[in-house]
């Protein structure tokens, strides 16, 4: 009798699992971002449901549910606040011009306009970046917003933590947000407890919050944002850890780039942080937002947040638009070179029409699968006349874009499918020839520390290498 009950329970369990697999396959057909992904998941779920269903629940979805509603709420609130201020930022807004399809598309994707009158400071490597951030936070008089993908309880973490704790004890509102996957050790650290004791408001992003996100481990909040008093914002590639200062002997020199922006564009960084905070805590920050802005500089800046909750793959489209709009050059520095098919085709076409296409990646990428994928896409680009450089001055982690002599981007988005589709990212897009020239000088110095890859290198690779590249490409959507 017991055996019959067990058999019935197993049968019912299998039936439920097969039904769930069929429902998941239908969902994949309807909602997968790519036809290839829909086909792969459908075949796997219907053929091997016992294995594929748990994998689909964890890794299968590319749409982050619920966040967009919070973003809309923040945008409506900010619009009301801006309209109530007598000295608002409207005079600094750049109108969307139908004659400039590039900027029109980017404005619509960012869901906010660009602003004039900003001042930028390029921050190269960790010492310059964190010295500048610490100096700015020590001068805070009203509030500090502090968000990083990785925060470690090490020398750098404690150094910045002391500043945050001191300001909180002085009565300054301090909000700290971190990604619970990237900062999983920070969650149980002494540093976090000390910050909370000092009065810092600390919260994980809560990626798995919400019924449909509960099993998902595939999404990351990869943003790195610091805002002080609504006057200054810092955005770029660094996380908070000693290795970002080059203190890890195994990694060596860490090559990264941040930027500080002052002026009306800071509003965009505030809105991105406020949306993340509202999602994470289900509560608004108790900050007296001040939307009055001066014009400390001459740069036009678009703060470009992107996330997996939106209808479009915003980060990927940002790169795609920059590539197709380039007439002279498109230089991209990233620790990953794993684009999707559309962006790879755009790079190839740009190279074929005579644009100076350069991709700079680390000479020793992060992991063997990523390394093989980098080589696969390198071969495709070289065949069309594009150039790929492998940085040899340490580990290169910067995420920098340079288009022609006008547009430069510094942010958190890597040149890979994970940043295009799965991560929460943010990028400063700066339309200013002076700042672009500074970025050009920086990248040229990096290129001098790099070696240019040639097609002949593939002839000397092991016999298994082509198969390895092909297999690595299969994992491109989640690398």
Catalytic residue numbers read 222, 224, 229, 397, 399, 404
- Report d(CA 80, CA 197) in Å as an integer: 34
Buried b (16+ CB within 10 A) or exposed e, 209-246: beeebeebebbbbbbbbbbbbbbbbbbbbbbbbbbbbb
- Per DSSP bridges, beta strands 220-221 and 225-228 are unpaired
Show the tokens assigned to 459.
Answer: 């002839």
Pair 273, 145: CB distance under 8 Å: yes
Which sign, positive or negative, has the C-alpha torsion 153, 159, 164, 165?
positive
Token look-up 């700290």 returns 176
- Report d(CA 45, CA 25) in Å as an integer: 6
Q: Which of 423, 445, 451 is nearest to 364 (CA)?
A: 451
Pair 229, 250: CB distance under 8 Å: no
Q: Which residues contact 405 (CB under 8 A, 6 or more apart)?
A: 328, 433, 436, 437, 440
What DSSP line would sit under 336-361, residue for residue?
Answer: -EE--HHHHHHHHHHHHTT-EEEEEE
Long-range contacts of 44-51 (CB under 8 A, 24+ apart): 45/21, 46/21, 46/22, 49/17, 49/18, 49/20, 49/21, 50/17
Pair 470, 369: CB distance under 8 Å: no
Between the CA atoms of 280, 83, 302 and 105, what dihedral angle is there, to the nearest 10 degrees? 100
- Per DSSP bridges, beta strands 415-416 and 337-338 are parallel
Q: How many CB atoms lie within 10 A of CB 408?
A: 30
Pair 359, 391: CB distance under 8 Å: no
Show the tokens assigned to 171.
Answer: 């009565």
DSSP E strands in 271-355: the ranges are: 299-306, 329-333, 337-338
């Amino acid at each position: 009798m017991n055996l019959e009950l067990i058999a019935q329970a197993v049968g019912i369990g299998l039936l439920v699992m097969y039904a769930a697999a069929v429902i998941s396959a239908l969902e994949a057909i309807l909602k997968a971002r790519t036809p290839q992904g829909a086909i792969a998941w459908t075949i796997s779920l219907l053929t091997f449901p016992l294995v594929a269903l748990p994998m689909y629940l964890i890794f299968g979805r590319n749409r982050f549910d619920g966040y967009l509603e919070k973003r809309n709420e923040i945008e409506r609130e900010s619009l009301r606040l801006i309209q109530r201020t007598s000295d608002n930022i409207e005079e600094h807004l750049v109108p969307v011009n139908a004659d400039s399809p590039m900027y029109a598309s980017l404005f619509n994707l960012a869901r906010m306009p660009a602003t004039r009158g900003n001042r930028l400071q390029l921050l190269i490597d960790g010492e310059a970046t964190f010295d500048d951030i610490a100096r700015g936070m020590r001068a805070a008089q009203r509030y500090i917003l502090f968000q990083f993908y990785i925060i470690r309880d090490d020398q750098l973490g404690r150094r910045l933590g002391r500043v945050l704790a001191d300001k909180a004890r002085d009565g300054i509102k301090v909000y700290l947000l971190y990604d619970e996957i990237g900062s999983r050790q920070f969650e149980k650290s002494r540093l976090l407890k000390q910050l909370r004791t000092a009065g810092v408001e600390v919260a994980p992003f809560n990626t798995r919050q919400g019924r449909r996100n509960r099993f998902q481990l595939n999404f990351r909040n990869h943003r790195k944002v610091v805002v002080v008093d609504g006057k200054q914002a810092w955005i770029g590639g660094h996380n908070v850890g000693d290795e970002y200062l080059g203190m890890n002997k195994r990694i060596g020199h860490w090559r990264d780039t941040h930027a500080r922006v002052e002026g009306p564009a800071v509003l965009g960084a505030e809105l991105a942080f406020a949306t993340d905070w509202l999602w994470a805590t289900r509560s608004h920050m108790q900050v007296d937002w001040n939307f009055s802005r001066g014009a400390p500089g001459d740069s036009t800046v678009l703060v470009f947040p992107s996330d997996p909750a939106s209808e479009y793959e915003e980060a990927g489209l940002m790169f795609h638009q920059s590539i197709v709009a380039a007439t002279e050059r498109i230089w991209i520095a990233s620790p990953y070179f794993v684009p999707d098919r559309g962006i790879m085709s755009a790079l190839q076409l740009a190279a074929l029409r005579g644009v100076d296409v350069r991709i700079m990646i680390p000479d020793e990428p992060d992991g063997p699968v990523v390394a093989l994928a980098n080589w696969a896409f390198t071969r495709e680009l070289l065949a069309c006349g594009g150039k790929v450089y492998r940085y040899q001055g340490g580990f290169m982690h910067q995420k920098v874009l340079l288009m022609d002599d006008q547009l430069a981007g510094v942010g958190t988005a890597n040149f890979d499918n994970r940043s295009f589709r799965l991560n929460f990212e943010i990028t400063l897009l700066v339309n200013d020839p002076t700042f672009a020239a500074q970025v050009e000088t920086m990248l040229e110095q990096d290129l001098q520390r790099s070696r240019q890859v040639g097609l002949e290198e593939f002839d000397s690779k092991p016999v298994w290498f082509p198969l390895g590249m092909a297999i690595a490409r299969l994992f491109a959507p989640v690398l």
